[in-house]
Structure 1
Amino acid sequence: MNDYYDDEEHLGPSKTQRKREMHALQELGRQLTELKESQLASIELPEEVLTAVREMQRIRQNEAKRRHLQFIGKLMRNVDGERVAADIDAIKSAGTLSVQRQHLIEQWRDRLLSDNDALSEFISQYPEVDIQHLRQLVRLAQKEQSQQKAPAHARKLFRYLRDTLAARD
């Protein structure tokens, strides 16, 4: 008879705790719906969550919004909530635009140096780029990396990417 109460600690989180966690995930989903598309793209999320968040922007009725937020909260169960919360906080902090742009540039630079397909992808997204100059910078930066030299050309590549992205704005 007392065995039932002794095993309570092994039953897992209480219903109240599970509800708190679900409301926290739903709140994270709500915060995701308030982000701009470019900010949303900087957060690593499953495609189904991204689709649901984008869908939320089309919904106008309050009750439909509430139900859709519950759905987003359900999808968020498969996501690392702490990491997403940290990403949202970073986006909302002061100076996020410049930091976000810098991260994008760093990602492009790193991809260009490690992935041969990234060059054609960058060129397709930024057709105004000087292809010959970009290839030369990538080639010299890769050579630096392989010889374990100071990253002078990698810095030049970073500056060139920064200027290219800034010219588009």
Structure 2
Amino acid sequence: MTDRKFFDDDSEQDDDFVSKTQRKKEMHALQELGKQLVELNDEQLARMPLEPKLEAAVVEMRRIRHREARRRQLQFIGRLMRDADQDGIQAALDQFNHQSRASIQIHHQAEQWRDRLLTEPDALQEFIDQHPGVDIQHLRQLLRQAQKEASQNKAPSSARKLFKEIRDTLSEAALNG
């Protein structure tokens, strides 16, 4: 009977107990977060809320080429991440990912508009109606030059300029909401 009472008292301490498997999962999650930090460019890394020691470890990881050394350095970054502002870092990473997805979407839209403008005669008016702030004369000039280059089998330099103009217009429209 006393053994049963002994086990019942332990149940109160079980609330704070974290299994070894759970600790490993948490460490792997921190290492994965650290791996995402390593993949950022210098400008993005500078905007992250990192402690100097963690930032130095991330920069060092970029320099390391040997596989085993990279693994150990990633474990070290994971240990440093325990004391870091994990929520702030994740929020900043999410913001970078959102911006990246938005720029990719704008890029795809610009490609679609360029292709439509080059093939469909009514597409120009539709684009102008949707984006009233666009320089119409410049857009028409680029479109004519791109069509002329395509008919003469020349390099598509005007089509690239047309794409850039469309992309800039779409980006500006996205910023202005």
Please state which band the TM-score falls in when normalised by the shorter chain: 0.5 to 0.7
Q: What pairs with 1:96-107 in structure 2 (closer than 5 Å)?
A: none
Shift of 1:95: 5.0
63, 66, 70: which one aligns with 1:61: 66
Equivalents in 1 of 2:32, 2:81: separation in Å? 10
Q: What is the alpha-carbon root mean square deviation over aligned residues?
A: 2.1
1:25 — aligned with what? Answer: 30
Q: Judging changes above 3 Å, is the alpha-carbon distance between structure 1 residues 46 and 96 closer, same or farther for their aligned structure 2 residues?
A: farther
92, 97, 101: which one aligns with 2:97: 92
- The TM-score, its normalising length taken from structure 2, stands at 0.50
When Rg is computed on C-alpha atoms for both structures, the one with the higher figure is 2
Q: Structure 2: any 5+ residue segments left out of the alignment?
A: 1-5, 104-177
Q: Judging changes above 3 Å, is the alpha-carbon distance between structure 1 residues 38 and 18 closer, same or farther for their aligned structure 2 residues?
A: same
Partner SS state of residue 2, structure 1: helix
Identity %: 48
Shift of 1:69: 0.2
Q: Structure 1: any 5+ residue segments left out of the alignment?
A: 99-169
Shift of 1:17: 1.6
State the number of aligned residues. Answer: 98
Asked whether the equivalents of residues 30 and 69 of structure 1 are also in contact (C-alpha less than 8 Å), the reply is yes
- The TM-score, its normalising length taken from structure 1, stands at 0.52
Report whether the alignment pairs 1:45 with 2:31.
no
